[in-house]
Amino acid sequence: MTFSRRVQGHALGCLTALAMAGAVFAPLEAQAGKVLDNIKQKGNLTCGVGQAVPGFSAPAANGELAGIDVDYCKAMAAAILGDASKVTYRQTSYSERFVLLASGEIDVLAHDTTTTLNREGAQKARFTFPNYFDGYTFMVPKSLGIESPDQLADATVCILQGSTFEVNTENFFKSRGLKYTPLVLGTWEQLDAAFFGGRCDAFGGNYGNLAGSRVAHGNVDDYVIFPNFLTLEPYAPSVYGDDEELFVVARWVMAALIETERLGVTQANVAEMAAKSTDPEIQQLLGAKPGNGKDLGLSEDWVVKIVSVVGNYGESFERNLGKASPMKLDRGLNDLWTKGGLMFAAPLR
């Protein structure tokens, strides 16, 4: 009798615990997909991008925003809404980008942003596969005659407020026992003006950003960007952490851009390959063999739609950052893993 009561008591306790768990987790389940659902209902994606960051998000000759981050926004709209033009771009500062993401004012953040523990843990951003690997370094006038960051003792350094650059700069000088004077400013435009106006000896930032500033200034040969990275900075788009369904879509859109390059699927041949390829990987990737679309809540041809608009990752890189662009950057770390780079995607199956 005593044993029976204990069993009954244990069972009742388990039922109570399950009921409490249901009360806790039911609201979370109800919230799942709310941002994605809202995007579909309003027929538009709000994408947070940088303010005039060449190669990532900056006005092109026709006045429209262009860059690898802008291409990602277009790819997301094409995948979710079937139309890459259904994007509202919100140009945000570095300091406000995560505030806007958390508040719901933007659905997706694609803003030359480094994945960090704090941003995922404390600020609840969920990052996709990286869309660009960069590294922190310094740019200096060639006239200074220095060949290494280790020669920057007592330098005045231009640094962007609210970015990882502040921490990277402090760590670099402190670890080497060097003194420096930081000039911290709120926007990249202010930093450009300060550095090229002679207020700073060095400009601290990621290589891609510094290269963009150097190209925009015009006198490329007058400035040196040190090629030895002090940190590795994996840039990635992100969504806010309370919508698992949107995160999964955001992650696999980035993966699809990389995987189509690996498999030789391009903007020019994607329609033909979707119709005629007998390669099982390509058939599944492009929706001829159904399943991927259903798993994400998208149409089966969602990859065809995004590549038709922006091309694969390699095409986007070359157009915006590579040799075909004013930036003229080498692929380097951003080449495919099959070619010695770091770009890879988990299997789309």
pTM: 0.84
Q: Which residues contact 53 (CB under 8 A, 6 or more apart)?
A: 67, 69, 111, 112, 188, 209, 212
Q: What is the reported pLDDT for 217?
A: 87
Assess if CATH 3.20.20.70 describes domain 133-232. Answer: no
Q: What is the pLDDT along the chain (349 residues), one digit of tens a residue?
A: 333 333 334 433 443 443 334 433 333 333 458 999 999 999 999 999 998 888 999 999 899 999 999 999 999 999 999 999 999 999 998 889 999 999 999 999 999 999 999 999 999 999 999 999 999 999 999 999 999 999 999 999 999 987 889 999 999 999 999 999 999 998 888 999 999 999 999 999 999 889 989 988 888 889 999 988 999 999 999 999 989 999 999 999 999 999 999 999 999 999 999 999 999 999 999 999 999 999 999 999 999 999 999 999 999 999 999 999 988 899 999 999 999 999 999 999 9
Q: What is the reported pLDDT for 94?
A: 86
Q: Which residues contact 152 (CB under 8 A, 6 or more apart)?
A: 138, 140, 146, 173, 178, 180, 201, 202
Assess if CATH 3.40.190.10 describes domain 34-131+236-328. Answer: yes
Q: What is the reported pLDDT for 148?
A: 93
Q: What is the reported pLDDT for 5?
A: 36
Q: What is the reported pLDDT for 292?
A: 96
Q: Range(s) for CATH 3.40.190.10 in the chain?
A: 34-131+236-328, 133-232
Q: What is the reported pLDDT for 32?
A: 53
